[in-house]
């Protein structure tokens, strides 16, 4: 079913633990809707939705983070990047703000890469802008790189030679070093993942 015809709530659900849980489930549904036909570039071609779920696992289960805005933003962090153009991206940003709140949108916006740039040029801004990220975005970025290093170590993108995998690990470390102290538990998880550098 195309994302444009999926009926989703138009307002942020009520606050409180039950509301946070409903909002997180709604974020998972929203992300799954937008990533439904996407696959990761790894050898197995796993469904793309596995990646935001991995971030949720790292943040919530492994690092003990309970901030619903951070968890929702982690699930939604790639939805806007996947917009076809400026108009589609703006529409998705508006939907995220209406459905999940301005704090979630602020975190998502902070971790968006400039899709207009070639892949190799998208990496430097993550380093140079890392310290200016809002705190929640730093947490999402740490979890994102941890999940990605785990994937590159154990199920890398097809056609990535060892030199490219090593360069990816080195770049992820540069981003995390630039972020600075944000969360000791997340940093430990990143270091564990980084130890698998090929």
Structural domains of the chain, ranges and CATH numbers in brackets: 9-194 (1.10.3210.10)
pTM of the model: 0.89
Q: Which of 44-53, 114-123, 176-185 is most confident?
A: 176-185
Q: What is the pLDDT of residues 42-99, one digit of tens each?
A: 878 889 999 999 999 999 999 999 999 999 999 999 999 866 688 888 999 999 999 9
Nearest to 108 by CA among 74, 66, 154: 74
User: 62-73: buried (b, 16+ CB within 10 Å) or exposed (e) per residue?
Assistant: ebebebbbbbbb
């Amino acid at each position: 079913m195309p994302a444009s015809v999926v009926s989703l709530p138009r307002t942020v659900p009520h606050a409180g633990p039950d509301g946070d849980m409903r909002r997180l489930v709604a974020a998972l549904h929203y992300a799954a809707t937008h990533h439904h036909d996407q696959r990761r570039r790894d050898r197995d071609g796993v469904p793309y939705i596995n990646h935001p779920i991995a971030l949720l696992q790292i943040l919530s289960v492994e690092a003990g983070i309970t901030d619903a805005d951070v968890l929702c933003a982690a699930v939604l962090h790639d939805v806007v990047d996947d917009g076809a153009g400026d108009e589609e991206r703006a529409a998705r940003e508006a939907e995220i703000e209406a459905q999940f709140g301005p704090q979630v949108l602020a975190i998502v916006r902070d971790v968006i890469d400039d899709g207009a740039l070639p892949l190799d040029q998208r990496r430097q801004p993550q380093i140079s802008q890392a310290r200016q990220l809002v705190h929640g975005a730093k947490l999402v970025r740490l979890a994102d790189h941890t999940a990605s290093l785990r994937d590159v170590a154990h199920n890398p993108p097809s056609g990535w030679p060892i030199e490219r995998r090593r360069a990816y690990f080195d770049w992820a470390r540069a981003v995390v070093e630039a972020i600075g102290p944000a969360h000791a538990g997340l940093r430990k998880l990143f270091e564990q993942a980084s130890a698998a550098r090929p």
